[in-house]
Structure 1
Amino acid sequence: MTWFRPISLCILLPLIAAQLNYPNDNQNYNYNNNPNNYNSNYPNYNSNNSNYSSSNPNYNPNYNPNNSNYNSNNPNSPNYNPNYNSNNPNYPNNPNYNSNYNNPYNPNYNMNNPNNPNYNPNYNTNNPNNPNYYNSNNQDYNRNNQDYNRNNQDYNRNNQDYNRNNQDYNRNNQDYNRNNPGNSNLNYNNPSFVSQPLDQSDCCEEYCYSQDPEPYLYFGTKTAYDSISRRGGNQHVIPDCTPVQFWSIIRHGTRLPDVDTIRSMRNMNRIHAEITRNYEQRKSFPDRGRLCPQDYDLFRKWHFNESINEGLANTLTRQGVEDLKLLARRYKTKYPDLLQNYDERTHYFQYSTDDRTHDSFQAYIEGLFEQDAFRVHANMINGERLTNPFQNCPRWQQDENARYYRQSESQRFKEKSDYQKLVRDVFRRLGFRFSLNSTVIDDMYELCAYEKAFNPQPKSAWCIAFNKEQLKIMEYIEDLKYFNEYGYGNPLAEKIGCSSLKDMYERFERTVNGNSDGNKAAFIFGDTASFLSTLSAIGANKDYSPLNAENYYQQSRRTWRTSTMSPFSANLVASLYQCNRGEKYRVMFFLNEIPVEFPDCSVGLCNWSTIQQKYQDLVRSCNAESMCNGRGSAASYYAEIAVLFVTLLFALKM
């Protein structure tokens, strides 16, 4: 067996060397990332290191949750305010941050106290002088405040660690740019921004958006909740059954666009000017398919709303606040015994760290509990595994091949003749003699969708560019994107989305087994990713054939439609019923207040035994933490080294 020894050494020594070198990389954070882009050269950047990158000159050790200077239990810390410490034994008597204890009229937290000198009335949702947002002017909660500033280096979109100028996440990248003046391929004012000339005779379908009594209102994930909600009637009333537990996951309400989309929207002033010149000076509109007089008049009067600025990017709008308040009130009416009065022991709330989800939570609890909303406490023990699972999943972020695949189907569809015809017809309809870059189509669609979401009732000036069939094509592109990112087109989505399913299942299971801790209702506030992955985990809206770039017409009656699944303020509710006849416990699912159809359930009502059969295996195997981190814990890492050493010694003895 002497031949085995050198072969074994050749195989095992590189493996051991790789393992021994591994601690210098960050085991739990970004071990595949380019060291030039993400600080993997700092040996102390490991999330298990007590100093958390003390050798990194760009990282502040005082922000380390393992550092004594930032320890919430360290009374000697000069950097930590004991009045803000929920673990401080003096907290029950702390009037400055007491929303849940014995101070019923906390002047620093009272939204309705006019005598409160510390409260900015612009934060008050009942203040008639605040037409748009929660507190855009309050210094203590201001996005322009250095302590909470998106321009602050620690929270900076221009910071390399969170940089939209980074090639991997760059809207200034040639393939993802609408605003970069140096990009000759995508700049509105550059001659190369146009492509082939267009036939100016007959154009396309005659359609007058302004005169349509039933315009198309489905815009994917930017759909207004009012556009799809049908309220569901009394289907929550189950004969001989009483609701005993309520669980819900809720997507944030209508929000403003992100920074780059706002800039793209403002940039559309130039396209608007070109279109008006096409119609008033150049007279280059087509003979057939031109804008009707009513549509052109609506479009001519449009101007960009300058109150939508980068400082308010991603914040909840007034429409978003109202939608969530009304949604909460409707559910309270349907389930008064479970949702009427707040009790910290029986009501559980959780939201992600994004402002839009926090403000959605705030609006929802105001709808549920009105003047008692200030008493509501949100539990953040589980971090963001439920509310923002993909952002905290290294495997998801690092899987470049999967990312390419997720984007490829919607891109392939854009190469099809249906989409290419859409591009030509839209530009001809607007009077262009040449077809501009298709990113302009995307910008028009974004403006159309957002303006309808901000104000569902009025007509949107930019929707005049599209007829109904063209809007359906644009909707399908978004459906393809999300199907392959957070839906059934991506095997990881179900595995990551199982966390919220597990939360619901285990809460109901304790009640069914008689081990309930008294919990009546649980609410989780998240984003599109967490919401759609949860729907994938429970098996909702699953079509017989998967969506792809080739079967657009066959999918005209698809159930995977993001407009109806995940509009702004989308909500999934599971309600556990105790029944006097038949099986004792049953579960009813509602998606946006409409019963969810499952093949083995009756109009959304499932026996508990069916729920067990459908989800028990997935729940028991659900371990998003292990799946996301890939290599597992530090213990398993050192176990791997031990196995390699034992194998090496065995080989040497042979």
Structure 2
Amino acid sequence: MVASGVCFWRSCILILPIIFIYVDCFRKDLFSTKTCYHWIYDLDQHVPQDEYMKTEISGQSCQAIYASALIRHGARYPSLKDIRSMSELHKKLLRYKVDKKLKFLTSWKNPYPEAEEKGLVKLGEVEQYQLGLRINRKLFSLFENNLENVKFVSSSTSRTKKSLQAFHKGFNGNMDEDSNVQYDIDDKILRFHTKCKRFLESVENNKTHIKEYRKFKSESHAVNLAAAVAKRLEVDDLNITTGDLKLLYFLCPFEIIISNKEDWCHILTDEEKEIMEYHYDLKQYWKKAYGHSVIPKMACPMVKKLFSHFDNAIKNRKQEERDPSVGSFFFGHVETLAPVYAALGLFNDTVPLLANNFEQQRNRLFKASHILPFSANIVLILYDCHSNGEAGGDNRFALKLYVNEKVTKFPGCQDDTCWYDEVRQRVSSHVDGCEFDRYCGMGEHAHTAHGEL
């Protein structure tokens, strides 16, 4: 029997005796921050031109006048630490003769060059190119004849700069040409976590801070998972560590992304991948979003930048000034997006994610596979809602939010579209009250954070 791919997030295979796990499909939307964008976004769906150009609120029709987006870089190679650990795991499995059960191990060679660690891969470029195409199409009338009036900003890393360039090719529709886009580098707003002394000391370099993530390793779900994998491999004295489980979990998406193979993907069942997903959601939640009061506060330079652009657009509109700016696009990391989510109050579960409430949190809002995949994006669109459609006068302005191209309500808003002044008031502490130096400390205390995604 041959099973075909039934949807964009599930992969299917032949059922043969040599296959390790006797299932015909596995889910691809379970790999935390190593999830490909097209595993959570259906590329086959129709994208209407100007889909984002108009909205309504309180009976008023509104027209888009400015758009900002914060975008994570595209799919990348593993880190140097993980590349080396993958080779060590392979050697360990061979020592225990696991290749008798997993035939592919005999010929497997580590396909991840150390020199390319964390570098953008081809699929990551494709993700960004396609995203640029879609965003341009969804706001076609805003950007038409205005492409030179869009600002682009990247963090200083190679993967974000290359993501920006690939996005710009799609945005401009020039796939066959080298991107000559002009852009700024600004780590103050896109890698603020590396410059926040309080965050580095209290969170990043404080192992006790992510105690829920560490406690989960001792919970029955994690303990039973390791035992189940060892039993399935039929090696009595094989000790599957939590580090081994991490590698078995992440080898799957990296193998698909870079080699277009799925050999490593059938070692863990979907249920076991859900357990691993929750384990790493605990880490993202406590370390990069809602685990410490400093996390949303340190995101204020980015939030302030977004809203200052909207403020300027409104000022120019009200005064009927001819400012040609129509958009800004920022390219960063998980460490950029997750704190901004927290600053905006997004994906904040009523009950916090804990080591002992995995079952209760199966339908949680904070699920990194869905909100922080490769090429994750936040798009905020400012609308002019003047009743007669003219500039000036008693304009009211509205804001609409899309996360990964899905409309997302602002906390406290009743509808998908919210009045701009109401949203701005809710985030005023991160805009007007942004005191990064006081929250964080700067200068000689700042350094590169470990494990950046």
Equivalent of 1:577 in 383, 393, 396: 383
Q: Match for residue 137 of structure 2?
A: 333
The question of whether the paired residues in 2 share the 8 Å contact of 1:600 and 1:610 is answered with no
Q: Name the counterpart of 2:447.
A: none
Whether the 8 Å CA contact 2:203–2:287 is kept in 1: the answer is: no
Given the alignment, which residue of 348, 372, 376 partners 1:566? 372
Give a deviation string over 1:140-196, Cα, whole Å, max 9, x none: xxxxxxxxxxxxxxxxxxxxxxxxxxxxxxxxxxxxxxxxxxxxxxxxxxxxxxxxx
Q: Of the candidates 114, 126, 130, which is equivalent to residue 322 of structure 1? A: 126
Match for residue 347 of structure 2 among 541, 565, 577: 541
Aligned residue runs from structure 1 range 368-447, under 5 A: 368-371=171-174, 374-380=179-185, 383-399=186-202, 403-436=206-239, 437-447=241-251
Higher relative contact order (CA 8 A, sep 6+): 2
Please give the alpha-carbon distance, in whole angstroms, between the structure 1 residues aligned to 2:131 and 2:384: 25
SS of the residue 1:525 aligns to: strand
Describe the shift of the 1:496–1:400 C-alpha distance in structure 2 as closer, same or farther (beyond 3 A): closer
Amino acid at match of 2:55: I
More strand by share: 2
Identity of aligned residues (%): 25
Measure how far apart 1:398 and its partner are: 2.8
- Find the counterpart in structure 2 of residue 242 from structure 1: 63
Work out which of the two has the higher radius of gyration on C-alpha atoms and give 1 or 2: 1
Give the 5 Å matches for 1:228-267. Answer: 228-230=40-42, 236=52, 237-239=54-56, 240-267=61-88
Runs of 4+ displaced beyond 6 Å: none
Measure the CA separation in 2 of the matches of 1:581 and 1:459: 55
* 1:342 and 1:376 in contact (8 A); partners too: no
Please give the secondary structure, in 1, of the residue aligned with 2:305. Answer: helix
**What RMSD, in angstroms, separates the aligned Cα atoms of the two structures?**
2.7
Note the C-alpha offset of 1:435.
Answer: 4.2
What is the distance in 2 between the residues matched to 1:330 and 1:595? Answer: 15
Q: How does 1:35-46 map to 2 (within 5 A)?
A: none
Tell me, yes or no, if structure 1 residue 617 matches structure 2 residue 429. Answer: yes
Q: Distance in 2 between matches of 1:309 and 1:219?
A: 22
2:438 match: 626
**2:122 corresponds to which letter in structure 1?**
R
Opposite residue 531 of structure 1, the aligned amino acid is: L
Q: Aligned partners of 1:279 and 1:260: how far apart in 2?
A: 24
Please list the CA deviations of residues 490-520 of structure 1 after superposition, one character each: whole Å capped at 9, or x if unmatched.
Answer: 2111101122111111111222233674321
What is the CA–CA distance in structure 1 between the aligned matches of 2:28 and 2:21, rounded to whole Å? 9
Q: What corresponds to 1:592 in structure 2?
A: 404
Residue type of the alignment partner of 2:422? T
2:356 pairs with 544, 547, 550, which one?
A: 550
Paired residues of 1:576 and 1:586 also in contact (CA < 8 A): yes
Residue number in structure 2 paired with 1:608:
420
Segments of 5+ residues of structure 1 without an aligned counterpart are 1-206, 281-290, 633-654
CA distance in 2 between counterparts of 1:475 and 1:217 reads 10
* Distance in structure 1 (CA, Å) of the matches to 2:202 and 2:25: 46
Question: Which secondary structure does the structure 1 equivalent of 2:247 belong to?
Answer: helix
Letter in 2 for 1:365: H
> Which structure 2 segments of 5+ residues have no match?
1-18, 389-394, 445-453
Question: Is residue 453 from structure 1 mapped to residue 257 from structure 2 by the alignment?
Answer: yes
Q: CA deviation at 1:630?
A: 7.0
- 1:223–1:563 Cα contact (<8 Å) kept: yes
Q: Which residue of 1 aligns with 2:13?
A: none
Which residue type is aligned with residue 63 of structure 2? T
8 Å contact kept, 2:353–2:361: yes
Distance 2:125 2:20 in 1: 32
Over 3 Å counting, the alpha-carbon distance change for 1:400 and 1:556 in structure 2 is closer
For the residue of structure 2 that corresponds to 1:391, the secondary structure is helix
Matches within 5 A, 1:131-170: none
| 287, 293, 301: which one aligns with 1:499 | 301
**Structure-2 change in CA distance of 1:623 and 1:225 (3 Å):** same
- Counterparts of 2:150 and 2:443 in 1: how far apart (Å)? 36
CA contact (8 A) 1:341 1:369 kept: no
Matches of 2:442 and 2:124 in 1, distance apart?
37
Q: Secondary structure at the match of 1:385?
A: helix
After superposition, where does 1:26-425 map in structure 2 within 5 Å? 209=21, 211-230=23-42, 236=52, 237-239=54-56, 240-274=61-95, 277-278=97-98, 280=100, 296=102, 299=104, 303-306=108-111, 308-341=112-145, 343-344=147-148, 346-371=149-174, 374-380=179-185, 383-399=186-202, 403-425=206-228
CA distance in 1, matches of 2:106, 2:386: 62
Amino acid in structure 2 at the alignment position of 1:309: P
Going from structure 1 to structure 2, the CA distance change for 1:278 and 1:370 (only over 3 Å counts) comes to closer
The equivalent of 1:103 in structure 2 is: none
SS in 1 for 2:214: helix
One-letter identity of the residue aligned with 1:392:
K
Cα distance change on mapping 1:603 and 1:210 into 2, 3 Å: farther
